[in-house]
Copies of this chain bind each other. A is one copy, B any other.
């Protein structure tokens, strides 16, 4: 039975995709007030520091998350497709990956590289949310693990908007947007593969529903990170004991 009490029949691939897209409309963090402020040019440099500094913890966890997913797959074909994500984030000798590009963005906000990498002062709530992502891809079914990556279906328009607004409102970041630049093409490719895989491999209605829930759970993980940032650095603006404090920029 579904939540509404009707008999649970298998969704068509198209209906499943529609339900997944509906989760994005409802819960993806493009709607979050922290992002709204960012795109309206209303964040201070210190608030952007806090954002870039904390989100590093998420960024550096991504290839670990992808390695955990890789480790669960029995299919060389799946693994061949999925390993690209690890390369994208970790880079290759001489070619910076997503993590390095994120560090450069954080540096451009005014946080020294060493402090970023030290993770000293990352908001506990950000840490817990990101770690919950690792739990999700480890302890839930493999279909759910893959489906949780589908937030990438929604990231392209958010990233396009962000790049545009950052150049306008935060010119000191304009030459450090390499991370987003790369994600513009990487994310849709990855999302496409994962979406097709979920459509083909969620073979029962229960598995389809679990995939939808996993995407919702992933949206919650992204949302909670921004809630924590907003609470600590915007309103009421109370970083917990030991948290990162924005640094003044020497002009």
Taking a contact as CB atoms closer than 8 A, the residue among B33, B124, B236, B238 that contacts A220 in the complex is B124
Taking a contact as CB atoms closer than 8 A, the residue among B33, B129, B217, B242 that contacts A238 in the complex is B33
What are 25 A-to-B residue pairs whose CB atoms are below 8 Å?
A: A27-B241, A27-B242, A33-B236, A33-B238, A124-B129, A124-B220, A124-B223, A125-B224, A125-B227, A125-B228, A127-B132, A128-B224, A131-B131, A216-B242, A220-B240, A220-B242, A224-B228, A224-B240, A227-B231, A227-B240, A230-B231, A231-B231, A235-B235, A235-B236, A236-B236
What is the CA–CA distance of A242 and B224 in the complex, to the nearest angstrom?
A: 12
What is the CA–CA distance of A26 and B240 in the complex, to the nearest angstrom?
A: 11
User: Shortest distance in angstroms between A248's beta carbon and chain B's nearest beta carbon?
Assistant: 24
Binary interface profile of A, 103-134, with partner B (CB < 8 Å = 1, else 0)?
00000000000000000000011011101100
Residues of B within 8 A of A137 (CB): none
What is the CA–CA distance of A33 and B230 in the complex, to the nearest angstrom?
A: 16
Question: How many identical subunits does the complex contain?
Answer: 2
What is the CA–CA distance of A220 and B232 in the complex, to the nearest angstrom?
A: 14
Residues of B within 8 A of A224 (CB): 124-125, 128, 228, 240
Interface of chain A residues 183 through 214 with chain B (CB within 8 A): none
Residues of B within 8 A of A129 (CB): 124-125, 128
Residue A150 CB within 8 A of the other chain: no
User: Shortest distance in angstroms between A229's beta carbon and chain B's nearest beta carbon?
Assistant: 10
**Residue of chain B at shortest CB distance from A219:** B241
Q: A240 near B228 (CB under 8 angstroms)?
A: no
Residues of B within 8 A of A230 (CB): 231, 236
Residues of B within 8 A of A216 (CB): 242
What is the CA–CA distance of A127 and B125 in the complex, to the nearest angstrom?
A: 10
Residue A168 CB within 8 A of the other chain: no
Residue A135 CB within 8 A of the other chain: yes
